[in-house]
Structure 1
Amino acid sequence: MDYQNEEDEFEDASEYDWMEKIKSTGAVPYLELDGPCKNGWSTPTGDRFMVRGPTYFSDKVKIPSGKFLLKPLGFDWMKGPTKISEVLNHPNHRIRKTLDELAINDTDTGTRPFVWAFNLQLSNKDNYCAIMYFVSLEPVEEGSLMDRFLKGDDSFKNSRLKLIANMAKAPWIVRTAVGEQAICLLGRALKCKYITGSDFIEVDVDIGSSIVANAIVHLAFGYVTCLTVDLAFLLEGQSEEELPEQVLCAIRFVELDPASSEVYGMPSGEEFGEARNLLGTRLWKSFGISQLLHQNNSDESGSGRVPSSGQGSGLQIVANGNLNERDMNGSDESQQFANGNLNEGDINGSDESHRSSGW
């Protein structure tokens, strides 16, 4: 299930026109990698990210990631009156609508697209968020790490979802504060909420849940029009059978302009319910069993999206300068921040030291 980003070839390109349509919409345009344009997003190459190699637990050697497992689908740069979350449960969201249309029009038994969304929620008065969308077009291998992640509980997800952030271009003050690279298990450093459905998973990441991360991002946001940042999401390999690691997906932000962000409109409860009921009716009719509609509750005959509330880590700064993180199992993990360096102890007891933002 390897996708080489821009190099993929399909037997029938028209079958995937919906993907190109989504990529071309949104407030921020899709750009060619290393192009001259500003205020956009693109897909970096896999060799920009170093991951655990096949013998990492014996020699600590990392290797270039290579191919990604998911294809880039879209990007949203938004702000709103309140914190923006659960966007793929919004009935009028362009990706949600596209997935519903594909489900209704699907006439074969092939695998339907499965979307991954990562929503980075900034903690400020305008509630900015950067939402990245990726898609899988092939079935997930039974028993694979990806399969176990999708089926696992929030505690398992928190222990595996990893972020690599590389500063491709940044002013000196940001590089000094953030460093060249930051690596962290997202669910251990920040509060993450996982929303899952039959055709998507969305991870809402509350950056404001960490005092350290919030301070770093607040500083960087002041220079966002000068920043080029590469982000990669992957599942951490914690045994030899799970190595080498593979990056799920990656994105590059190029000098984003806050003025170009879209204002996000939350659906009212009535609008949300009506949209779900309409979709449910269309789905049942498409299967030729509309007579069952009157025998079931409208929620049961809807699109099948079942939100699940994630519980991230609670973080607090203590007097001795350590960041104590209480994970979901109630255990405490201490991370010492000194001179901008983060020593990250993984669950196997080994340390990976990074020039980091302190996430």
Structure 2
Amino acid sequence: MSKVVYEGWMVRYGRRKIGRSFIHMRYFVLENRLLAYYKRKPQDSQVPIKTLLIDGNYRVEDRGLKTHHGHMLYVLSVYNKKEKYHRITMAAFNIQEVLIWKEKIESVIDQHQEPQIANGNKYVSFEYKSGMDNGRTASSSDHECQFSAQEDEVGAPSSLLRRTTIGNGPPDSIFDWTQECDSELANHNANNQAFSGKHWRLLQCQNGLRIFEELVEVDYLPRSCSRAMKAVGVVEATCEEIFGLVMSMDGTRFEWDCSFQYGSLVEEVDGHTAILYHRLQLDWFPLFVWPRDLCYVRYWRRNDDGSYVVLFRSREHENCGQQPGYVRAHVESGGFNISPLKSRNGKPRTQVQHLMQVDLKGWGVGYVSSFQQHCLLQMLNSVAGLREWFAQIDERGAPPRIPVMVNMASSSVSSVKTQKIDELSVPPGPSLDQTNAASRNSVMMDEYSDEDEEQMPEAEQEACPTKSDNDAKRTAPKEEPFEKIDLSCFSGNLRHDDRENSRDCWRISDGNNFRVRSKHFCFNKTKIPAGKHLMDLVAVDWFKDTKRMDHVARHHGCAAQVASEKGLFSLVFNVQVPGSTHYSMVFYFVTRELVPGSLLYRFVEGDDEFRNSRLKLIPSVPKGSWIVRQSVGSTPCLLGKAVDCNYIRGPKYLEVDIDIGSSTVANGVLGLVIGVITTLVVDMAFLVQANTTDELPERLIGAVRVSHIELSSAIVPKLDADPSRLY
């Protein structure tokens, strides 16, 4: 039996014939001469989905960064030089795993050099190091080498080159400030100070950072454009961890970058170059100064010394025109230089340099120097934010996301009609929950499919332009419409109102505002937006009485009874609030039927011990005082272990009575909440916890938002003594 060199879960990345990308989690196994992947971890003599018989003709291509529904993936392609259609494309959510696999596969290829030489084909291990001619540090993602053309020629020499990198290098418009130019280039551009070697002076020390300012004459700069400034700090984390955080534009960025308001992907040029849209959060007299936004090219590479370089430069794009209410700033030069340092006390250490040179544009900006410096320092302080974020966070496994941008046509200020179109197409400044939820239109089921669907040949994927999700949706077959439940026959005494600022009412909360366990939670602890609910919330009752109200499904004419008459199944959650006057908020979730064998079916038909171990609540307070939001939190809670739950199983319903007063801690939080309940907006999501791979991913039973509830609107219910006659 062949020796296993390396194995583990990776992402299988590809593109279907309709042009839409897909990802599947697969188990990859690398042996001495074989690379294979399976649907699950192989046992006994399980047959792999696909294999590659590795010899000295194989190449490992670093395809850089790709995005799939906002998820960032680092992609490798392993293929045979003589049979390019025979290849495997694999990816990972973090660059560390990709680097390990790249090293392991290259080591296996190196072992087969001797057979190549014996056959008369001298095999040369080669990795192109762009910039060797101009003194730059060798990079694993720069231009193709001068010998790459020989590889594609039929009559190429017998000496084969194992090219391990691809990439077109940085765009010509981007200046690499991390490298010193050679004397010839400096002399050639003697009159252009933007391309000469930079000299810096220490301006100040702030938040544990050294802030430097470039020493140049500023006559050639616009009045609104500042000198280049950079912040230098040390972060106790690996280069890969910092790089992954810097590249992300999900809700995590709010926790370390105080100048970030919103960001999204406009266009993916290649694996190392992308065009991004970025809104700045600059709190300098916001009543008088218009907000700024950016459209810029971002290029990244990994150097051979393990450091990472991320470069910025503004540019125009047809799908990212001027936005109403924003001034388009211009990045002259910017980015991050992330370099490893020697570890100390067993902890990794990394030097992070963040440089920005920005023309903030706008009328009168060049005459207010304090505005320039304030905005630049706010952006540069993100290095201190990175340091504190890593110092306080233990779990760093969640894959970062970049929300994909909708098409943004250039607007004409004079045209009211065009301006309205732009206002509709521009995504509003999202809340943290919305950003964490990312794209609501994302279809995540591709990630969890057990089937390898028919796809475009991988060699053709490079030549085929990437389709956007919207374009792919136009070509994809439409789903069959399903018969919806008529909600007009259900009612509760608490009013249903979908308007944003309504009071004393409820509405359905978007499932994507909640994060639940993914299909692969058992392997990498990742969570995903919850998506569509399993059941429909049809009504909410708000009751009060002098005693605790149990088994409220006895209430004559309640939604559970109406559903039973129509042959529907109901799940009733009765949240009991103790006090001198007892209150109950009752949520009625309805579905046509339960799927036999499903996790929800097992919960309904199971015993109380199983129910207590699985029923989960995810709370959230989008609007309310800081102390209430901190007290309630947003951590999922197993209700059966935190408070007493009583389960009443009827012929066509299951009621769960949740006694908040049974827990001292919950009762204390409730005492804080009940006094200010009219000022609060509260989200609640109910679900059954999934513990095994067969049960994952988790799905919400349903979610509700209650807004500014008035205690006086509760009514005293009339509960039937014998509810069985109504079912």
Q: Shorter-chain TM-score category?
A: 0.5 to 0.7
Partners of 2:652 and 2:630 in 1: how far apart? 41
Partners of 1:9 and 1:221 in 2: how far apart? 45
Is 1:21 the counterpart of 2:489? The answer is yes
SS at match of 2:496: coil
Q: CA deviation at 1:11?
A: 6.8
For residue 535 of structure 2, the aligned residue among 24, 48, 70 is 70
- Contact 2:538/2:559 (<8 A) preserved: no
Is 1:94 the counterpart of 2:558? The answer is yes
Q: Deviations over 1:12-56 (max 9, x none)?
A: 77xx54x2232xx33321011x52211100001111000001111
Unmatched segments (≥5 aa) in structure 1: 103-111, 280-302, 304-359
Q: Which residue of 1 aligns with 2:516?
A: 51
Which of the two has greater helix per residue?
1
Structure 2 CA distance for partners of 1:12 and 1:157, relative to 1, 3 Å: closer
Partners of 2:695 and 2:710 in 1: how far apart? 39
Q: Which residue of 2 aligns with 1:174?
A: 628
- TM-score where L is the length of structure 2: 0.33
For residue 691 of structure 2, the aligned residue among 206, 231, 238 is 238
Q: Which residue of 2 aligns with 1:282?
A: none
Q: CA deviation at 1:196?
A: 0.8
SS at match of 1:215: helix
4+ runs deviating over 6 angstroms = 8-13
Partners of 2:724 and 2:647 in 1: how far apart? 20
Structure 2 CA distance for partners of 1:172 and 1:72, relative to 1, 3 Å: same
Q: What is the number of residues matched between the two proteins?
A: 250
- Contact 2:620/2:629 (<8 A) preserved: no
What is the percentage of aligned positions where both structures have the same residue?
36
SS at match of 2:635: strand
Q: Which amino acid aligns with 1:29?
A: R
SS at match of 2:595: coil
Partners of 1:100 and 1:45 in 2: how far apart? 26
- Contact 2:516/2:699 (<8 A) preserved: yes
Q: Which residue of 1 aligns with 2:662?
A: 209
Q: Which residue of 2 aligns with 1:128?
A: 583
Q: Which residue of 1 aligns with 2:609?
A: 155
Q: Which residue of 2 aligns with 1:337?
A: none
Partners of 1:128 and 1:9 in 2: how far apart? 43
Partners of 1:84 and 1:9 in 2: how far apart? 43
Structure 2 CA distance for partners of 1:209 and 1:37, relative to 1, 3 Å: same
Is 1:119 the counterpart of 2:584? The answer is no
Q: Which residue of 1 aligns with 2:273?
A: none
Q: Which residue of 1 aligns with 2:505?
A: 40
Q: Deviations over 1:173-209 (max 9, x none)?
A: 2123223x13111101110000111210110000000
Q: Which residue of 1 aligns with 2:594?
A: 140
Q: CA deviation at 1:276?
A: 4.8
Partners of 2:635 and 2:602 in 1: how far apart? 26
- Contact 1:190/1:209 (<8 A) preserved: yes
Partners of 1:182 and 1:9 in 2: how far apart? 36
* CA radius of gyration, larger in: 2
**Considering only aligned residues, what root-mean-square deviation do their CA atoms show, in Å?**
2.2
Unmatched segments (≥5 aa) in structure 2: 1-440, 442-478
Structure 2 CA distance for partners of 1:72 and 1:113, relative to 1, 3 Å: same
- Contact 2:683/2:704 (<8 A) preserved: yes
Partners of 1:55 and 1:10 in 2: how far apart? 30
Ranked by relative contact order (alpha carbons within 8 Å, sequence separation 6 or more), the top structure is 1
Q: Which amino acid aligns with 1:27?
A: N
Q: CA deviation at 1:136?
A: 0.6
- Contact 1:87/1:93 (<8 A) preserved: no
Q: CA deviation at 1:96?
A: 4.5
- Contact 2:620/2:632 (<8 A) preserved: no
Partners of 2:518 and 2:703 in 1: how far apart? 18
- Contact 1:79/1:263 (<8 A) preserved: yes
- Contact 1:50/1:62 (<8 A) preserved: yes
Partners of 2:542 and 2:659 in 1: how far apart? 16
Q: Which residue of 1 aligns with 2:715?
A: 262
